[in-house]
Amino acid sequence: MAIIGDYLIQGFQMLLVLALAPLLTGVVRKVKARLLRRRGAPVLQPYWDLLRLIRKEAVIAENASWLFRAAPYLIFAATWVAAALVPTFASGLLFSWSADLIAIVALLGSARFFQTLAGMDVGTSFGGIGSSREVMIASLAEPALLMVAFTLSLLAHSTQLSTITEVLDYSEVGLRVSLAMVLIALILVALAENARIPVDNPTTHLELTMIHEAMVLEYSARHLAMIEFGSALKLLLYLSLIGAVFLPIGMAHTGDGAAAYGVGLAAYLAKLAAGALLLAVFETAIAKMRVFRVPEFLGSALMLGFLATLLLFVSRGL
Amino acid sequence: MNISVLSAAMWSIVALLAVSGGAVFSVRTRVPQILVYPLCAAIGAAIGAVALWSLLTGRVENLVLPLGVPWIGSHFRLDALAALFLSIVGFGGCAASVYAIGYGRHEPSPGRVLPFYPAFLAGMSLVILSGDAFTFLVSWEFMSLMSWALVMAHHKEPGNTLAGYVYLVMASFGTLALLLAFGLLAGPQGHYDFESIRSVVGAHPLAGLVLILALIGTGSKAGLVPLHVWLPLAHPAAPSHVSALMSGIMTKVAIYGFIRIAFDLLGPPEWWWSVPLLSAGAITAVMGLLYAILQNDLKRLLAYSTVENIGVIFLGLGLALAFKANGLAEAAALAMTAALLHAVNHAAFKSLLFFGAGSVLSATGERNLDALGGLIHRMPWTAALFLVGAAAISALPPLNGFVSEWLMFQAVLVSPELPQWGLKFLVPAVGAMLALAAALAAACFVRAYGIGFLGRPRSTAAADAREVDGFQTGAMTVLALACVMIGVLPGFVIDALAPTIRLVVGADGLPLQATQAWLSLIPLSASRSSYNGLMVFLFIAFAAVASAAVVRTLASRAVRRAPAWDCGFPDSRPITQYSPSSFAQPLRRVFGTMLFRARETVEMPAPGDPAPARFSLSVSDLIWDGLYAPLAWAIGKAADRLNRLQFLTIRQYLSLVFGALVLLLTMLTVWR
């Protein structure tokens, strides 16, 4: 019986992240609109957008290759798998051992690899500009994220995300300088990786400063829907990751009863809501930076992650 | 039945040399063009098979032939370490030969390639099998010279003679370092065979010096920064299947040489030996990629990426040495497994990528990215297979590059157990460099693939490209499958490495992986870390297929082909696409401004002036300008000065001889 329950919970998590991802984007947009004194679209609007896109006829550039048509599904699949492996409401899920934190970072790297290639497939200058800037950002954001992963793994003596959350949850760890540093680093990376202000603007179009939107400029209809869905999943993944690592309160653990899972779910929803709110406030309060300021922004994330790792190498107590 | 594996391998090498000799004598006929590559493929497969069999059965064999220096003879030895690398050489050579059956037809001067090619394979195998210093050095030089001859095959193309010259100088320098290393190892008694070097008990008095010399000698062949200068010149200059062998396989022979000396012959290690390895490896990994990102020549880009991967392997070896010196056997086995697996992986994907570049070269006549583009339409197989190689080398799960990268990270993460303070500061920095290299590799190969294979053709040659023949795509398919299989089922390969790990680290390897539940990879303990390539592969496949199926049933399937949107102003001229240099510009600005003194200048004409605006870019190679150029200048200057010695009078010569005699006698008295 237990194994069936485990399967069910793992399956539930896979569907949960799918179901929640557009809602999260909708909430962020709504809060941002309210902060700007606009009424904003309903929070369910992203779902309607996806449905609308899926029903449309796809317009594909004449010289687009099979890679262009396959990439949206690959991007979506890699992001979905990564999002399903991050503990959301419960740790120690059935398949959590199949990929650790480093593998999750690399899965996001796979998604980005295909995204940047797809941007270059049609051979337009916008696609090229988006891809080349994306790899520049990734070349700093990914090591920064890996350094965050190093720090957490050194603290927990494990790279398994489930084990990390459990170790941090039972608060043997307490407040640490290194944890504070990697929290900041992780937030900086999350902003950059999700193409949020101040690195990129998710709402901008037809602007030379855009990065993510420039790469997907040639996409339409169902392909665009898959990419948008993938982006929403990625935002959910980062918020879940921050929640699971730095705020593991209420998370259910292996062997807990149904009530614990209910509490975990409620806590998870609350964490997501808080994250969406904070993101919206932050994005409203800050201006976008020039693209060549981004390396400094991400360089500081990399340095913070590196310093945190160094501190843990020097002393386990920091 | 007791078949000697070693003698089978030796006979295969003799067969290769015979093929080489036969090709020399029949070079004016068409016979070698038909026979050499198929024969090499068969012999390579045989060498690989016997080596693999020897690795799996764990046999150790010795052989002494009455060749070479009279009172020493020639020793040959096949143990687990040699067997592993010999199987890399055998199977890599087999793949390259199969590829060459197709590729060699485009060769303008086959007579300059065919006689040397089997001899090059034989030379690499001999280095690995040698069991004494003399045989090792002779084989090493033979291998270098044969590859040099292959580099010079197209000696009329601009730049290739320079490449050959630089290669020859660096190879001699490397061999000199190795010669000194073996001289020190042999000691005053002259123990030249490895068995008696190994049997010397206790630490060698000059072990640290031997290690440094071995690092210089093998590192110059493998391409460690700053000894890498010849590699990006020479590897691309050779015909592409030879480039694949040099980059994918010969660098592994150099790695073998280092492991043999540092882990097997040199006795118990000291912790500080790892410091030069770790720092050189980390710097090489990052610098190699930064160079690669700036290259517009596809083959040169691949050669620089080889430099990067060599850095990663040496970094793993450094960690293994540090762990071994501190008696942390499990961790040492982990780091060594990571390094060896990366060597195997790199042999697979780098050969694949060089084959891909060779196919592009034979189909378009171009290896400059500026003239390529859109090949995914014209060469679908090559494009798809190159994509697998690019994804594998960028360490993307679920392919093989990720597995070795992951193991390497795991090895970094157990290193806080190292007690020395120097390493406590060095290893995190090395880990950060490794992370940076992993991210830069993806950037580099997105650029190479995106510019070369995607987009619109930038030249008529690229627009008229034709798919290459079945031998070329067949060889690439096998290697691509190997990349996928090792990535999905890494446990079996890691288990096969166990005897080698036991030999070089002196402890049991990682726990047996094939028996782990769900075939996952658990290097130390399940609570610490695990990765399951098979699961990740299945999950991704399931998620992609499921989402595609759902979209197909729910969504509109209508597709319309239309001109590119491009924000409403599509420009049909291919020159408006991003070029390789423009793609590299953001990364160049971030990393190159300091490291390469990259400077961009824009000259704008005054308003109203019809003159064109000009953009110029200057990039300088600080290692070449700062290290090699002054060295070459100093040597040239000294040679000019010494040249006067040729024009002295007889009296001056006699006084010179007298002076030398007095000097030597004085030295002798002082010495006494």
* Contact check, Cβ <8 Å, A77/B438: no
Instruction: List the single residue in B with minimal CA-CA distance to A206.
Output: B567
pLDDT in tens, B78-136: 989 999 999 999 999 999 999 999 888 888 888 889 999 999 999 999 999 998 888 99
> Do A62 and A70 meet the contact criterion of CB atoms below 8 Å apart?
no
Q: What values do phi and psi take at B623, rounded to 5?
A: -70, -40
Give the residue-averaged pLDDT of A278-301.
89
Residue with the bigger pLDDT between A177 and B655: it is B655
Q: Which residues of A touch B431 (CB under 8 A)?
A: 147, 150, 309
**What pLDDT does residue A273 have?**
92
> How many angstroms separate the CA of residue B484 from the nearest CA in chain A?
15
d(CA B94, CA B452): 27
pLDDT of residue B283: 93
| pLDDT at residue number B619 | 85
Residues of chain A numbered 174-203 and touching chain B (CB < 8 Å): none
Whether residue A3 lies within 8 A of chain B, CB to CB, comes out as no
Specify the length of chain B in residues: 672
Site from A113, A145, A211, A291 to mutate, B interface, most B CB atoms within 10 angstroms: A113
Q: Do the Cβ atoms of B539 and A81 come within 8 Å? A: yes
pLDDT for A122-176, tens place per residue? 888 888 888 999 999 999 999 999 999 999 988 888 888 888 888 887 766 677 8
| Shortest Cα distance, chain B CAs vs residue A192, angstroms | 15
Q: What is the mean pLDDT of residues B186-197?
A: 81
For residue A2, what pLDDT is reported? 67
pLDDT category at A35 given cuts 50, 70, 90 is: very high
- What pLDDT does B509 receive? 66
pLDDT, averaged across chain A: 87
What is the least distance, in Å, from the CA of B550 to any CA of chain A? 10
R_g of chain B, CA atoms, integer Å: 26
Residue A253, pLDDT > 80, answer: no
For residues B271-297, give the mean pLDDT: 92
Residue pLDDT, tens place only, B306-319: 999 999 999 999 99
Query: Using omega within 30 degrees of 0 as the cis cutoff, is the peptide bond preceding B428 cis?
Result: no
Question: Token pair of B249, please?
Answer: 């396989």
CA–CA min distance B266, chain A (Å)? 29
**How is residue A223 written in tokens?**
């392909």
Residue A238 and residue A243: Cα distance in Å, rounded? 8
Residue type, B454: L
Q: Give the residue ranges of DSSP H helices in B453-532.
A: 460-463, 470-488, 490-505
Looking at the predicted structure, is the pLDDT value of residue B1 above 50? no
Asked if the model's pLDDT at residue B671 lies above 90, the reply is no
Provide the pLDDT for residue A170.
73
Question: Which of B439, B447, B567 comes nearest A126 by C-beta?
Answer: B567
Using the Cβ of A208 and the Cβ atoms of chain B, whether some distance falls under 8 Å is answered with no
pLDDT at residue B532, rounded to an integer: 84
pLDDT in tens, B506-533: 777 677 777 777 677 777 777 778 888 8
> Is A75 touching B (CB cutoff 8 A)?
no
Interface of A with B in 109-168 (CB under 8 A): 109-110, 112-113, 116-117, 119-129, 131-133, 135-136, 138-143, 146-147, 150, 153-154, 157-160, 163
The residue with greater pLDDT, B560 or A206, is: B560
Neighbours of B616 (CB within 10 A): 9
Radius of gyration (C-alpha) of chain A in whole angstroms: 19
Beta strands per DSSP E along B42-192: 61-65, 74-78
Mean pLDDT over all residues of chain B?
89
Element (H, E) at A140: helix A125-156
Of A55, A121, A313, the CB nearest to B455: A121
Candidates A67, A95, A117; nearest CB to B535: A95
pLDDT at B111: 85
Residue B186 has pLDDT above 90, yes or no: no
Helix (H, G, I), strand (E, B) or coil at B614: strand
Determine the residue of chain A that is closest to B536 in CA distance: A98
Q: Is the pLDDT of residue B456 over 70?
A: yes
- Chain A positions in Cβ-Cβ contact with residue B413 (cut-off 8 Å): 150, 153-154, 159
How far apart CA B86 and CA B247 sit, in angstroms, is 16
Domain locations in chain B as residue ranges: 273-548, 622-671
H helices within B365-420, ranges in order? 375-378, 380-393, 400-413
- Statement: residue A55 has pLDDT above 90: no
What are B198-211's pLDDT values in tens digits? 887 667 778 889 99
pLDDT at A227: 93
| CA nearest to A135 within chain B | B443
Contact B284, B314 (CB under 8 A): yes
Q: What is the pTM of this model?
A: 0.93
Q: Does residue B667 have a pLDDT over 70?
A: yes
- Percent of chain A past pLDDT 90, that is, above it, reads 42
- Compare CB distances from A58 to B387, B558, B585 and report the shortest one's residue: B558
The closest CB to that of A124, out of B373, B536, B570, belongs to: B570
Under an 8 A CB cutoff, do B528 and A159 touch?
Answer: yes
Identify the closest residue of chain B to A112 by CA–CA distance: B442
pLDDT in tens, B387-435: 999 999 999 988 999 999 999 999 999 888 888 888 888 999 999 999 9
What pLDDT sits at residue B407? 92
Of A207-221, A253-267, B492-506, which has the strongest mean pLDDT? B492-506
Are B540 and A78 a contacting pair at CB < 8 A? yes
